[in-house]
Amino acid sequence: MKATRTWILIADGARARVFLNEGPGKGLKSALIGNFATDLPPTREVMADRPGTSVPGAGPRHGYAPRVDWHQYEKRRFAADMAGVLNAAAKRNAYERLVLVAPPEPLGALRAKLDPATRQRVVREIGKDLTSMAEHDLPARLEGDGLVL
């Protein structure tokens, strides 16, 4: 019987790792070479200029708030990039099942960008940030969340 390949994405808004599990007792190994990361400077560094102001006659000046939170924009863009990786892998049948592990906001952004065929492969979503956890500690932590590795 062929082992069921499960990809496990561990991500946050700026970093991601993808692991492969080939059945109970097999543990985790890297599914893709390397880790994914994006440069995510704090909003205060991206928006270093002061907002413009208006002078509506004799009244006080009012500052304009920026229309885009660039920090959040970059997080959503990174989630879309990761969804693209998962969608492409699903099309070439690199995995049968998919587990998504990310904090709630990046998880929602990622879910929104998955193709319907990829979404059907999602068997579990865990709303936690495990990106800083060492690879050898992940199996025990994920089994604590109900996954069988």
Q: Report pLDDT digits (tens) over 74-91.
A: 889 999 999 999 999 999
Q: At 16, is the secondary structure helix, strand, or coil?
A: strand
CATH code assigned at 42? 3.30.420.60
Q: How confident is the model at residue 138 (pLDDT cuts 50, 70, 90)?
A: very high
Report the C-alpha gap between 25 and 59 in whole angstroms: 71
pLDDT in the model for residue 91: 97
Task: Name the token pair of 97.
Answer: 């099942």
Task: Give a yes or no: residue 135 inside a domain.
Answer: yes
Task: Give a yes or no: residue 109 inside a domain.
Answer: yes
Task: Give a yes or no: residue 97 inside a domain.
Answer: yes
Q: In which domain, by residue range, is 110 found? A: 6-46+63-141
Task: Give a yes or no: residue 137 inside a domain.
Answer: yes
Q: Report pLDDT digits (tens) over 23-61.
A: 888 989 999 887 888 876 666 665 555 555 555 555 565
Q: Using the structure block, give the residue that is written with the tokens 């940030």.
A: 129
- The DSSP bridge partners found for residue 125 are 100
> What's the number of domains the chain is made of?
1
Task: Give a yes or no: residue 56 inside a domain.
Answer: no
- The pTM for the full model equals 0.82
Task: Give a yes or no: residue 122 inside a domain.
Answer: yes
